Amino acid sequence: MSDKKISREERRKSIERQRKHSNKQKKSGAKTWIKRGFLAIAALAVAGFLFGVVLFAVYASSAPELDEELLRDPISPVFLANDGETEIPYFTAQNREYVEYDDIPKVLEDAILATEDNRFYEHSGIDVIRLGGAVIANVTGGFGSQGASTITQQVIKNSFLSNEKTLKRKAQEAYLAFKLEQEYSKEEIFEMYFNKILMSGNTYGFGTAAQQFFGKPAAELELHEAALLAGMPQSPNRYNPFKNPQAAEERRDVVLNLMEQHEKIDAAQKEEAWSTPVESTLVPEDQRTTTEESTEYTAFMEMVVDELEALEGDYSLDEGLTIYTTLEPYVQERVNETMASDLFFDEDVESAMTIVDTKTGGISAIGAAREYEGDVRRNYATSRDRVIGSTIKPLVSYGPAIEYLDWSTGQTLVDEEYSYSSGQEIRNVDGEFLGPMTARESLYRSRNIPAVKTLEEVGSDNATDFTKKLGLDFGGIFESAALGTPEKQISSVDMAGAFAAFGNNGVFTKPHTIKKIVFRDGSTEEVVSPEPVTAMKDSTAYMVTDMLRDVVDTSIAGSTGKEAAISGLDMAGKTGTSNYSEDKLQEYGLDASSARDVWFAGYTTDYSISVWSGYPDVRTPIDTASDERLLAQRLYKQVMSQISSPETASFQQPESVTEEVIEVGTEPLRLASPFTPWSMRSEELFARGQSPVQYQSDLWQTLTDLLD
């Protein structure tokens, strides 16, 4: 018995020893695998490092040689016209006041370093500390939230390399930055940056900017002036103090904060500079001189610069870009001639126009004002502070009614006494009421009451949806919007683009000035023109176009756009006049024939043109009782007749549209019968499947039904 107990005890101990031995082996095995894993990871890391070193060496070996001329001189961009060959003579790198390092004031150097590269005198071309901070910021704030380029790297990038964001380019940039630091002193590198950076337009270098904006050499700049200039390179056009003093002041204050943070100035100095208005020491307006070589394309080129800065991506005009634009020089020349013509009835009345390619949305030319020169000027073509009047009717009333309510061009509308929901009476310009009429007639006669009724039927939501697809932001669209008074106004650029969609089978492309950008290497390019979108059915586009044809038909009594008609050219258009309120008429001492603004928007299958005319001072009216009201139409006609080819294609009725003869005034619409008087017949358009099936005459309908 005891022997059995002993053997059991021994077996238990034996099993325990085996378990411990097994666990020991498992732990030993796990440690072995962990060690092997670490070794493998280390090997991969070393291999990756070595691969990176080799790749860096390969990329660096193909980097261009340092060229002192390129290092010191800016690289001007090249702008090409719509044909892709004609160079636009606007920007040049020659407008520069070169400043030696010894003549750069300490306050300006401190402002630049605090803003761009505070550790400039400590790193060797690459700021590892700043790079690490940028990596963290990009991880936590999203890629691109912070950059890490030093001043040395910016000199390299702006002198030799393309703008492409590739590992090769970054490797070459790092290599050349390090090499630059070996061959040139810090002072020489800072001098390069100081004199070649783009400040605004074709102004390069801080010394040139000091003279242009403050009328003094850089050595005489005050703290607040130095801070303003130091902040400009981030967005030269946006922070131009002549054009955007508020934005420039906000940027200046950011720079002053950075200067205090990096102990370049103290709090008292910052506060004093903060309290100085930006405009207090700028060159007075009457003493400013334009810096452009040519003013022929000034307004268009300003739009190009604005568009470039608004694009997603890192594009800078001092990096040798080739920019393919939509400008048609011949069209621009005709616009310039027209804006300087004797069509204007006095010296003070102003005008503006935008010409857009109907098919592509590219802006072919711009007429910003009668004279658009000097550093302080107003672009009336892009401003959104003028009331567009009845030009809005196809956009918020008739277009949406055809699109969403399946209206035909013969829809019956009644021109009668009518009021807004507030009780305010609505009037037509002639003070009369014409009774039942088709939607077509109410549009070509530009009757107010039918337009308001149509918008009420359409509804604000539908009107907003329709106009947004045309790139328009009217804000709130209420009853009065049908007469040109939505919550927000639009520009002639917006209007030309929207009307172009009617002439392009309902396809809208946002008006733009840039087609593509080619970088300095000559092979890397980006197409940046907007994508076309379907804004409405082709049936809607054609039916609106056909109604607007009648606006410029000289054979139709009551059409409002006859002055714009061009013989032999198939085109459509809409007039617009904005009137003063009763209160304003009394305040300004004006009579009922006074108008603030007159418009005309018209288009062919090739071009869409929007024209505004009025006075800079809104208290000065245009007299609608005279030919003054025709100015916008006459300007339109002169330009469109010169730029249009005799072979301009006509608008083609799509398969989605049918034509029927209806009896005017019927509700719902009925087809005309043989008994319908000729005076009551009208050929009207319907979206396919929406034509009426009933005839007006009961007798004729009965006979027709029997025959069927």
* Catalytic center residues: 116, 390
Scanning the structure block, which residue is given the tokens 């009394």?
586
**Single-letter amino acid code for the residue at 160:** F
Are 493 and 276 in contact by the 8 Å Cβ rule? The answer is: no
- Looking from the CA of 431 toward its CB, the CA atoms found within 13 Å total 2
Non-local CB neighbours of 706 within 8 Å, separated by 6+ positions: none
What angle do the packed helices 223-231 and 106-116 form, to 10 degrees? 40
Handedness of CA 459, 464, 467, 470 (dihedral sign): negative
Quote the CA–CA distance of 67 and 140 in Å, as a whole number.
Answer: 38
Are 139 and 498 in contact by the 8 Å Cβ rule? The answer is: no
CA dihedral 50, 55, 56, 60 (to 10 degrees): 140
Quote the CA–CA distance of 240 and 200 in Å, as a whole number.
Answer: 7
Non-local CB neighbours of 663 within 8 Å, separated by 6+ positions: 669, 670, 671, 672, 673, 676, 680, 681, 682, 696
Provide the pairing of β-strand 198-200 with 622-623. Answer: unpaired
What residues pair up with 622 in beta bridges, in sequence order? Answer: 595
Quote the CA–CA distance of 583 and 92 in Å, as a whole number.
Answer: 51
Give the residue ranges of DSSP H helices in 158-244.
167-183, 186-196, 206-214, 223-231
Q: Give the end-to-end CA distance of the chain in Å, rounded to a whole number.
A: 119
Scanning the structure block, which residue is given the tokens 């910003």?
368
Token digits of residue 500: 């172009």
Quote the CA–CA distance of 708 and 704 in Å, as a whole number.
Answer: 6
Look at residue 412 and give its three-state secondary structure.
strand
What residues pair up with 574 in beta bridges, in sequence order? Answer: 601
Quote the CA–CA distance of 257 and 543 in Å, as a whole number.
Answer: 59
Are 205 and 104 in contact by the 8 Å Cβ rule? The answer is: no
418 exposure class (CB count in 10 Å sphere: 0-12, 13-18, 19+): middle
What residues pair up with 512 in beta bridges, in sequence order? Answer: 362
Quote the CA–CA distance of 537 and 404 in Å, as a whole number.
Answer: 10
Residue 430: closest CA among 627, 549, 577, 565: 577
